[in-house]
Structure 1
Amino acid sequence: MKSVYEVLEAAGNRYSGNYSHKYRINGHFSKITYAELFEAVRYFRQGLHLIGVKQYDHVALFSDNRVEWIIADLAILSLGAVDVPRGTDSTKKELLYIAKHSDSRFVILENCKLLKKLSPDLFKVIAKKRIITIEKCEGFLSFDDIIEKGKSVRGVGQVGKVNIKTDDLATIIYTSGTTGWPKGVMLTHGNLLHNIRAITPLLKIRDGSKEKTLSILPVWHVYERTFEYCTFSRGALQVYTDIKHFVYDLEHEAPTLISCVPRIWIMVYRNIIDKVKKEKPLKKAIFFIMLNISLAFENSIRILFRRDTVIKPESFLKTLVKAQKALILVWLLLPFKLLAAEMFHPIRKKVARRLKAAFSGGGALPPYIDNFFNAIGINILEAYGLTETSPGISGRHIDHNVLHTVGPPFTETKVKILDEEGKPVPKGEKGILYVKGPQVMKGYYKNKKATEKVLDKDGWLNTGDLAIMTQRGELIIVGRAKDTIVLLSGENVEPTPIERKLMESDIISNVVVIGQDEKDLGALITLNEEYLRREIGDTIKDLENTVIGKKIKEELNKLINEESGFKPFEKIRHFKILPEGFKVGDELTETLKIKRSVIRKKYQSLIRDMFGKK
């Protein structure tokens, strides 16, 4: 099969009786089967054809998660047209830029609120008659209108099968724009098909098993979109949720598979720990003792089954001694591990009753989160990729989960790690990661210069990420090459590991390490207001509170030190507390990554003050 639509249509025919989507309308769940979904796709496809959408046309699709999104997406792809998706929380300026820069001839908008937000400037880019709204808006074609147009056609008037080639463009996804204007990543049907082909078998979905996934990430984002394509191709049910209902749906919908970003797992972790801390002192102490026992046991099991993270070469003798120690610990801790498993059972029942695997991507998973969920028996699999690679590059496996890595490269994927001079580095050493494979983008739309900067003539993509290859072939992502901080002393500092470690603090909700061309490192910190109210009795509005400042200093010293693996110059010597948390669309991308350049610009006067500059 040469197109995404062909693969998913085949799945729709195979699993026609299965439910494909479950979603809320006015607070209540509705469901649709694969047969009903593809009937709507065919009608919408026909309707789009009647209003003039043809092969190779670009169609902007500005909407958040809803079943009409996937119907529109599949209909556009089936015509050989190219969709240009984006969420509604993007700024007016950004959406108008995308619509114009992408040369979109048509646009599908979610609702009247978005239409009003973009009017009248949108009409200068796309004609009114080519604007479709999913929800009815007076004077414009609606989603239902397009469906009805499609239903009205019978026989010879129906649009036939379009000849789509693997190398044809499927979508243009604009990057989150952490610096400057977003770039349009051109992904072909072949790019997306590789991810479906490579990732789907790793999900271990049994044919006809009616598995269920919970979808919270923006479906227009390539990470969630590809994950949905993969589960869709095996007849799974997609349940759309949101941040408000996520914890409730996680318990009551009981998904078997889920994909999230690290921030979601941090939220779940903090919910669990907050409840534990409200318990009586003895029960609380027993929980943390059992947690440490479980951590030690699971670490020993990983060593015995060769699932431990081995970065530097080890001699046979060292490996043997390590295995012997692990075996002794397993036997000694087994009875306590069984007790711990019983203690953690209520958590698993609430969070992961039927969950066989939870995927984390779109950012680095902090080691303490990785360790915690592994210890209580919840299988989190970290994956890695970029919008430019559709997105999958590597991922951990359900039956071979190597913690603190992003797993081995996916099938058909080549990787190399080079130093600053372009020479390969040995395993265990840090360098810039390059990737080559069928998932690598065609390029940036109308931006040859940016394309040539990251994609060479042999097809190797410079990811811009610093990585290490373990001795057993798993990748570890250290940070972004462009994020490296160079201190006045000439020392290079990677901010990501420091930020990950600081996120272990209950009082910190977000942190950005600063220090380019400075003597020491500083940090901009946002606070966990719930923790402040509960533990200190203050809110983040009271920034001058000496108790809060003292607590922050204690946390910085406790977490960033030589005992926890940091060098002396990596200590945080200065900090400033920000008056409010980071917001999506401002300091955060849609997948909750921090926009460093935006933060540095927004808080430049505060940063100068932090380092004692006037």
Structure 2
Amino acid sequence: MTASFWTDKYPAGLAASIDPDCYPNIPAVLEDACRRFADCPAFSNLGRTLSYAELYELSGAFAAWLQEHTELQPGDRIAIQLPNLLQFPVAVFGALRAGLVVVNTNPLYTAREMEHQFNDSGAKALLCLANMAHLAEAVLPHTGLRVVIVSEVADLLPAPRRWLVNAVVRHVKKMVPAYRLPQAVRFVDVLARGRGRPVREQRARSEDIAVLQYTGGTTGIAKGAMLSHRNLIANMLQCRALIGQTLGEGCETLITPLPLYHIYAFTFHCMAMMLTGNHNVLITNPRDLPAMVAEMGKWRFSGFVGLNTLFVALCNHEGFQRLDFSALKLTLSGGMALQRAVAERWQRLTGCAICEGYGLTETSPVVSVNPIQRIQLGTIGLPLPSTQCKVVDDAGNDLGVDAVGELCVKGPQVMKGYWQRPEATAEVLDAEGWLRTGDIALIQPDGYIRIVDRKKDMILVSGFNVYPNELEEVLAALPGVQVAAAIGVPDARSGEAIKLFVVRKPGAELSEEQVLDHMRENLTGYKVPRQVEFRDSLPTTNVGKILRRQLRDEELRRAAGA
């Protein structure tokens, strides 16, 4: 698929290209944004709002402390293990200003997962929440960590509220297990010692690594995607180009429920919204729906970024249904397939259509999005400006339009490679810069892309390809179904058979026969499931994406024990 194929596919007013070299590095973007939008709100959480000027001041304090009180050098890695709190952007931008490489780390990681990531990345510093400091204590002797900073939930709230909230979290809710880290420094002390001190701004080169973002990829082995300053700046500019006709600058409020340590929210909220000077309301625990809905009720929000399972949960929440959506003009979806029934229900309830997009950790992450002026439900939209896509067969041959094959992506947002894994890099990234995504897709003649499914999730029934996304989409239209997942299970006759896992809506009376009848009415015979299992919940990732692999593993263990 040549670059010229895409040039006339964009709506009027949407540029087909961006200049990824208009900023030399991320701190330069931060400096420009904090100058232009100094008095605008940047981030809010737990009742406090940081302006862009305050963000610059606090990130400078963090950077100055790193430079004056540690032996960390530019290029060293710092693991940041925080949920959505004001401390997160302060630390990220402070670390980048000091020339460090950020290693985003999931706060829900086990000690084993932490140890692997810290050692694989070669992290020399860690900023973690007190709630998981006991795990840091356990892994510290087995890692190269030399600097440990511990923050408490309310560290950026004004006293005495800070003392009160932290005391409640520690002593009333008992959410901070005992730990002993005598070498650790408190985050509040770091800021106090760095405040007002000069920062030796490290002018990273555009191709220098800014972030090591870990991903399981197609193998399940956690690998660090090397995202350069240029990669992230390109994706920031691409996102701004796409939403610039919908969201203004310095005047929008976006709800931020997805975790900032995940690349989706990291790039969009922490990075791209900085370019536009907009305001992110951080939701620390999106699984607590009542608290999240209560927080949303405090703001006239104009943007919301989520994914299918979160849209389902919110639409089923009575408090959410009563919110004021009169200011909402942009809803973005990614991370997993958006189901048509869910998109239509969201639009009826909020009055705002959902723009589905697509991305990967390896692409910083956004590859494509539906332009709000021209949404096609069931597609992931058009490639972002300066991005090319093609579908190929197993031999790497370009299949052109209207053919199903593996989606490949090329653009300035594509990673440099996997950290210290040249073989793994060579498996997905060729000499021309094309990244093999592992997703099965089709490019329509109008340029819109449809994801069929993950290559590894495809079910082979008697030689026929069956894609779980299609089955789950059909089932989502059945009243009484809250969420569902389809997997392949071993079958002596057909090689694989289809099994459905279904979570009913509260109060719904839904039988296996009703499910199967619905599938028979809407699907050809070989796509109809053999088994249906009802569950109270399904396993999900930290952002709510259903873990089909875990369901498959459970079935294999069950079969082995039979």
Normalized against structure 1, the TM-score is what?
0.77
In structure 2, which of residues 73, 95, 100 is the aligned counterpart of residue 76 of structure 1? Answer: 95
Mean Cα deviation higher: 507-516 or 66-75: 507-516
Distance in 2, matches of 1:526 and 1:567, equals 20
In structure 1, which of residues 178, 184, 187 is the aligned counterpart of residue 224 of structure 2? Answer: 184
5 Å-filtered alignment, 1:306-325, equals: none
Quote the residue 1:6 is aligned against.
Answer: 28
Quote the residue 1:593 is aligned against.
Answer: 545
Distance in 2, matches of 1:209 and 1:8, equals 14
Quote the residue 1:134 is aligned against.
Answer: 151
**1:380-429: CA deviations, max 9, x gaps?**
10111100000011101122222221111011111111123322224222
Quote the residue 2:135 is aligned against.
Answer: 117
After superposing on structure 2, the runs of 4+ consecutive aligned residues of structure 1 that deviate more than 4 Å are 176-179, 205-209
Deviation at 1:124, TM superposition (A): 2.8
**1:122-156: CA deviations, max 9, x gaps?**
233145x5111123887320112211221364xxx
Distance in 2, matches of 1:105 and 1:594, equals 33
Quote the residue 1:310 is aligned against.
Answer: none
5 Å-filtered alignment, 1:389-538, equals: 389-487=363-461, 489-505=462-478, 506-516=480-490, 518=492, 519=494, 521-528=497-504, 531=506, 534-536=507-509
Q: Which runs of 5+ in 1 are unaligned?
A: 276-345, 537-547
Quote the residue 1:148 is aligned against.
Answer: 192
Contact 2:362 2:415 in 1 (8 A): yes
- The one-letter amino acid paired with 1:239 is V
- The one-letter amino acid paired with 1:521 is A
5 Å-filtered alignment, 1:77-116, equals: 77-111=96-130, 113-116=131-134
Distance in 2, matches of 1:120 and 1:513, equals 37
Deviation at 1:492, TM superposition (A): 1.6
Mean Cα deviation higher: 114-123 or 253-262: 114-123
Quote the residue 2:260 is aligned against.
Answer: 219
Structure 2 residue matching 1:478: 3-state secondary structure: strand
Quote the residue 2:330 is aligned against.
Answer: 357
Deviation at 1:91, TM superposition (A): 1.7
Contact 2:99 2:202 in 1 (8 A): yes
Distance in 2, matches of 1:517 and 1:464, equals 25
Q: 1:554 to 1:478 in 2, by over 3 A?
A: same
Deviation at 1:493, TM superposition (A): 1.2
Normalized against structure 2, the TM-score is what?
0.84
1:239 aligns with 2:281: yes
Amino-acid identity (%): 26
Deviation at 1:374, TM superposition (A): 4.0
- The one-letter amino acid paired with 2:48 is S
Q: 1:372 to 1:216 in 2, by over 3 A?
A: same
Distance in 1, matches of 2:248 and 2:400, equals 41
Deviation at 1:517, TM superposition (A): 5.1
Deviation at 1:353, TM superposition (A): 2.2
Q: 1:554 to 1:233 in 2, by over 3 A?
A: same
Distance in 1, matches of 2:457 and 2:332, equals 25
In structure 1, which of residues 233, 237, 248 is the aligned counterpart of residue 294 of structure 2? Answer: 248
Distance in 1, matches of 2:34 and 2:209, equals 23
- The one-letter amino acid paired with 1:501 is V
Contact 1:178 1:595 in 2 (8 A): no
In structure 2, which of residues 526, 539, 544 is the aligned counterpart of residue 569 of structure 1? Answer: 526
Deviation at 1:193, TM superposition (A): 0.6
Quote the residue 1:295 is aligned against.
Answer: none
Deviation at 1:58, TM superposition (A): 0.6
Deviation at 1:9, TM superposition (A): 2.1
Deviation at 1:225, TM superposition (A): 0.8
Distance in 1, matches of 2:250 and 2:359, equals 28
Contact 1:521 1:571 in 2 (8 A): no
Structure 1 residue matching 2:32: 3-state secondary structure: helix
Distance in 2, matches of 1:138 and 1:517, equals 52
Structure 1 residue matching 2:530: 3-state secondary structure: strand
Deviation at 1:473, TM superposition (A): 0.7
Structure 2 residue matching 1:394: 3-state secondary structure: strand
Structure 2 residue matching 1:422: 3-state secondary structure: coil
Deviation at 1:121, TM superposition (A): 2.4
Structure label with greater radius of gyration? 1
Q: Which runs of 5+ in 2 are unaligned?
A: 1-22, 156-179
Distance in 1, matches of 2:144 and 2:396, equals 45
**1:200-251: CA deviations, max 9, x gaps?**
1322366555110000001011110111111222111110123222333334
Q: 1:605 to 1:87 in 2, by over 3 A?
A: closer
Distance in 2, matches of 1:182 and 1:138, equals 27
Contact 2:30 2:274 in 1 (8 A): yes
RMSD (Å) for aligned C-alpha atoms: 2.3
Distance in 1, matches of 2:218 and 2:109, equals 13
Distance in 2, matches of 1:212 and 1:508, equals 29
In structure 1, which of residues 7, 32, 36 is the aligned counterpart of residue 50 of structure 2? Answer: 32
Contact 1:432 1:467 in 2 (8 A): yes
Q: 1:608 to 1:412 in 2, by over 3 A?
A: same
Structure 1 residue matching 2:54: 3-state secondary structure: helix
Distance in 2, matches of 1:504 and 1:608, equals 34
Quote the residue 1:541 is aligned against.
Answer: none
Structure 1 residue matching 2:514: 3-state secondary structure: helix
Quote the residue 1:264 is aligned against.
Answer: 310
Distance in 2, matches of 1:183 and 1:166, equals 22
1:553 aligns with 2:513: yes
